[in-house]
Amino acid sequence: MNITFIGTGVMGASMAMHLIRAGHSLTVYNRTKEKAQKLIAEGAVFKKNVSESVKGADIVITMVGFPKDVEEVYFGKDGIIENAPEGATLIDMTTTKPSLAVKIFQTAKTRGLFALDAPVSGGDVGAKNGTLSIMVGGDRDVYQNMLPVLALMGSNIMYEGKAGTGQHTKIANQIAIAGTIAGVSEAVAYGKTMGLDIDKMLESISAGAAGSWQMANLAPKMAEGDFTPGFFIKHLVKDLDIAKQESQSRALSLDVTTLVDGIYHLLENRGMGEDGTQGLIKYYLSKDEQS
């Protein structure tokens, strides 16, 4: 397959690497070429803009940051919809608004293109290991056709339903994460305050009912003061804001999500948006510990 991958950041670069190592012909575009260097070294072709990158593509995969970035790469003058060849399949793996996924799907169809919304969960670790959870919305037959390609990047791939349902499922995932990561942060903060051996505490509680992906992967980083991003605070802020907007449109109250989103907004306003989501622990630390 001729595959174009747009957005080779923390997760996208690893996801694209699985495609090229599986033998697919890979073309890449990223606003910062440096972030695509490892892929170029593996044989990927770098293009200077979106329109050039999608010429001749059988599949176009996008993994960008924010809804505005998705709008730009799909609907701009230089965008995917205007320039992808008829018959190509477009797969947006960014977490974005469900309504935007529907817009891409409907517009693509008018131009003889196929589209799936396929956001992912699993962070940088899942991207590197090819074990992401992938939640897919769109036409079932298109999903079935793309399953071998998606399976190169993920190990838990689910067809959720019509266009937009992949995004709705991912938002549900982020809602669940919000409460879990807050609980993990409070547990680590409590352990530190009480003078516990944090490594021993985490080993003890991770094996029981408190065990979770966040506990296993992020709690040790919190304890060590390692805020290297596997997933940026600024991106979780975006996701939780979408969750609030979607729930408010249906008169659904998300009290925990709103609380955690407010804390993350506070951290982002303090210049911590580039930290990993485990940076939530900073909210609970004393000024001495933060320094």
45-96: pLDDT as tens digits: 999 999 999 999 999 999 999 999 999 999 988 999 999 999 999 999 999 9
Rounded to whole angstroms, the Cα distance separating 62 from 64 reads 6
Same domain? 238 vs 216: yes
Same domain? 158 vs 221: no
Q: Is the dihedral of CA 264, 125, 44, 157 positive or negative?
A: negative
Rounded to whole angstroms, the Cα distance separating 187 from 193 reads 10
Pick the last residue of a domain from 118, 143, 163: 163
Query: How many residues are present in the chain?
Result: 291
Domain count of the fold of the chain: 2
The yes-or-no verdict on residue 2 having pLDDT over 50 is yes
Q: What is the CATH number of the domain that holds 227?
A: 1.10.1040.10
DSSP secondary structure code for residue 172 in this structure: H
Whole-model pTM: value is 0.93
β-strands 120-121, 132-137 pairing = antiparallel
Same domain? 144 vs 21: yes
Q: Fill in the amino acid letter for 244.
A: K
The yes-or-no verdict on residue 3 having pLDDT over 50 is yes
Using DSSP, state whether 8 is helix, strand or coil. coil
Same domain? 262 vs 186: yes
Report whether 188 contacts 210 (CB < 8 A): no
Same domain? 156 vs 219: no
Same domain? 81 vs 122: yes
- Number of CB atoms found within 10 A of residue 259's CB: 13
Same domain? 96 vs 232: no
Same domain? 6 vs 119: yes
> Which H/E stretch holds residue 46?
strand 45-46
For residue 185, what are its two tokens? Answer: 């942060």
Same domain? 108 vs 153: yes
94-144: pLDDT as tens digits: 999 999 999 999 999 999 999 999 999 999 999 999 999 999 999 999 999
Q: How many helices (H) and strands (E) would you count in the chain?
A: 15, 9
Rounded to whole angstroms, the Cα distance separating 178 from 244 reads 12
Residue 272: left (phi > 0), alpha (psi -120 to 50), or beta?
alpha
DSSP secondary structure code for residue 156 in this structure: E
Per-residue model confidence (pLDDT) at position 286: 57
Q: Is the dihedral of CA 17, 18, 24, 30 positive or negative?
A: negative
Choose, from 170, 192, 238, 282, the residue flagged as catalytic: 170
Pick the last residue of a domain from 122, 147, 163: 163
Q: What is the CATH number of the domain that holds 106?
A: 3.40.50.720
Residues forming a β-bridge with 6: 29, 62
User: In sequence order, what are the residues at sequence separation of 6 or more whose Cβ sits closer than 8 angstroms to the Cβ of residue 133?
Assistant: 120, 121, 122, 126, 154, 155, 156, 157, 158, 173
Same domain? 151 vs 186: no
Rounded to whole angstroms, the Cα distance separating 88 from 77 reads 18
The yes-or-no verdict on residue 290 having pLDDT over 50 is no
Pick the last residue of a domain from 100, 130, 163: 163
Per-residue model confidence (pLDDT) at position 76: 85
For residue 275, what are its two tokens? Answer: 């930290």
DSSP secondary structure code for residue 150 in this structure: H
Same domain? 268 vs 208: yes
128 assigned to active site: no
Residue 192's domain comprises 168-290
9-39: pLDDT as tens digits: 989 999 999 999 999 999 999 999 999 999 9
172-231: pLDDT as tens digits: 999 999 999 999 999 999 999 999 999 999 999 999 999 999 999 999 999 999 999 999
Same domain? 104 vs 185: no
The yes-or-no verdict on residue 291 having pLDDT over 70 is no
241-253: pLDDT as tens digits: 999 999 999 999 9
Residue 133 has phi, psi (to 5 degrees) of: -90, 130
